[in-house]
Structure 1
Amino acid sequence: MSTVAELIQIAESLLARTREGALTWGTNDNCGDDEYYAETDRFGYYVGSRDNDGESPYRVEIWRTRPDEEDIKLLDAVTVNDYFDAQPAVKALVEAARQNLAGLRLSLLEEVEADLMKKTPF
């Protein structure tokens, strides 16, 4: 089981890779309404609202993906009790995954400001 400090580091690393464009989020058959999935060579990541309402608590799952074999769940953390202090980092990751699915890479504020800067005056 990972500690809260490790979960925060994992969420921050996933957020950084998402912002860099190195990690792309989507959905699959196992995702609920407010859940997102990303995959690297060795791991699959699920993040989202535990209750599928877009609000806390949030859930993070990490799976070891193995071709031609059953995947192994390595982490299933919900931002309550022992993992409550990880909630801000996981919330930022969930928001970034949602925005990434919509084709946005930066924070919503940065995306809006960049878009507004491109607009020509009347």
Structure 2
Amino acid sequence: MALLEKDELLAVIERLINSTKSGKLKWRPYQDRGEMEAETAKFVYYIKPRDDDDAPPYQFQVYAEGNRGMVLEVISSRDELELQNAMSTLYSSSKLSALGIGSLKDEIFNDLTELDSE
């Protein structure tokens, strides 16, 4: 099922990445298997590694909010490098969001600074 064209899908993923990095969109683990989901007023966004190995390719799905059984879009990044790169960034950002980490670099530097001050 591909209702969105590739350029439209890339634009959606970029907006999700930007909203995630800015902290406006919060992700959470789904069923604790490396699967991530986030909700907005109308939709649920879901992303996971296709092979459950925490690596590309990824599967991205969009559901109608309140109706998890109604899949509106399913995309795999398997054959598209540009799509795979965007989905990889989204997946990494979603994991950091679920952990409450805004910037991995800043968190690591702060952690190491605290370690140095002990």
Give TM-score, length-normalised by structure 2: 0.83
1:110 Cα offset (Å) = 3.8
Give the aligned residue type for 1:17. S
Q: Using a 3 Å threshold, how does the CA distance of structure 1 residues 70 and 7 change in structure 2: closer, same or farther?
A: closer
2:93 is the counterpart of 1:91: no
1:67-78 → structure 2 map (5 Å cutoff): 71-78=69-76
Q: Alpha-carbon deviations, 1:26-51, whole Å to 9, x = none?
A: 123xx461110100110000012111
Q: Gaps (5+ residues) in structure 2?
A: none
8 Å CA contact retained: 1:8, 1:89: yes
Q: Using a 3 Å threshold, how does the CA distance of structure 1 residues 99 and 70 change in structure 2: closer, same or farther?
A: closer
Indicate the residue corresponding to 1:48 in structure 2: 48
Indicate the residue corresponding to 2:11 in structure 1: 9
Distance, in Å, in 2 between the alignment partners of 1:17 and 1:33 is 23
1:117 Cα offset (Å) = 5.7
Distance, in Å, in 2 between the alignment partners of 1:88 and 1:70 is 26
CA RMSD of aligned residues (A): 2.2
The percent of aligned pairs where both chains have the same amino acid is 25
Number of residue pairs aligned between Structure 1 and Structure 2: 116
Q: Using a 3 Å threshold, how does the CA distance of structure 1 residues 119 and 58 change in structure 2: closer, same or farther?
A: same
8 Å CA contact retained: 1:4, 1:85: no
Give TM-score, length-normalised by structure 1: 0.80
8 Å CA contact retained: 1:11, 1:93: yes
8 Å CA contact retained: 1:5, 1:86: no
Q: Gaps (5+ residues) in structure 1?
A: none
User: Of Structure 1 and Structure 2, which has the larger fraction of its residues in strand?
Assistant: 2
Q: Using a 3 Å threshold, how does the CA distance of structure 1 residues 121 and 104 change in structure 2: closer, same or farther?
A: same
Indicate the residue corresponding to 1:35 in structure 2: 35
1:112 Cα offset (Å) = 2.3
